[in-house]
Amino acid sequence: MQSRLIAGALLLAALAAHAQTNVYRWVDKEGKVHFSDTPPPEEAKSVSQKRMGGGYEEQSQLPYATQMAMKRNPVTLYVANDCGTPCDRGREMLSTRGVPFSVRNAQTNNADKEALVKLAGTPEVPFLVVGENKLKGYDEDAWSSALDSAGYPKTRLPSQPPSEGKPAPSSAPAPKAPPGAPPSGSAPAQ
């Protein structure tokens, strides 16, 4: 009798877990509204995603629009340990907007420094990459424009924790260069 009770409870739990799904709502180019359990096509407009069903533990999830922006236009911020205010302001802006980003330290990682020089032609930081868009120095208006164009939110949701840059895997430290006079809003990665 007890084994039947346990088997019934396990079956009920399996059915409840299976009943959970994501439902997507979007508008196609002809203005028709669609609901589906599969993600919408890339050209879809007014996309929203809801988790349906019960019996699950709510997890902090990024909004669907942010997930799509991340997929299409990943954000990478190149910094250096002694970058100071420009890098701090850049990180703060990305975090306030709820933009997930990765951080590459061009001062402590040779591979990151080489990648920065290849992208920017110089090791000056901060340097922001949003998809194919590359921005030298910290300029709030230029960064906002690039993030807006890429589809990132202007502010994070109240329930969304502030984003923190994810560090790149480290390798051998970069050699220190003599300090130079950086232009306003940027500093050389030493």
CA 182/CA 83 separation, integer angstroms: 10
Task: Give domain status of residue 124, yes or no.
Answer: yes
Task: Give domain status of residue 73, yes or no.
Answer: yes
Task: Give domain status of residue 111, yes or no.
Answer: yes
Domain that holds residue 90: 67-176
pLDDT of residue 67: 87
pLDDT of residue 46: 77
What digits encode the pLDDT tens for the residues 2-21? 666 565 555 555 545 444 56
pLDDT of residue 102: 93
Beta bridge partners of 26: 34
Domains in the chain, number: 1
Task: Give domain status of residue 101, yes or no.
Answer: yes
Q: What is the pTM of this model?
A: 0.59
Q: Domain of 156: which CATH number?
A: 3.40.30.10
* CA 26, chain centre distance (Å): 22
Task: Give domain status of residue 164, yes or no.
Answer: yes
What digits encode the pLDDT tens for the residues 99-122? 999 999 999 999 999 999 999 999
Q: Which residue has the tokens 């924790």?
A: 161
Task: Give domain status of residue 142, yes or no.
Answer: yes
List of E strands, 43-172: 45-52, 75-79, 102-105, 124-125, 127-130, 133-136, 166-167
Binned at pLDDT 50, 70 and 90, residue 65 comes out as confident
Task: Give domain status of residue 156, yes or no.
Answer: yes
Task: Give domain status of residue 2, yes or no.
Answer: no
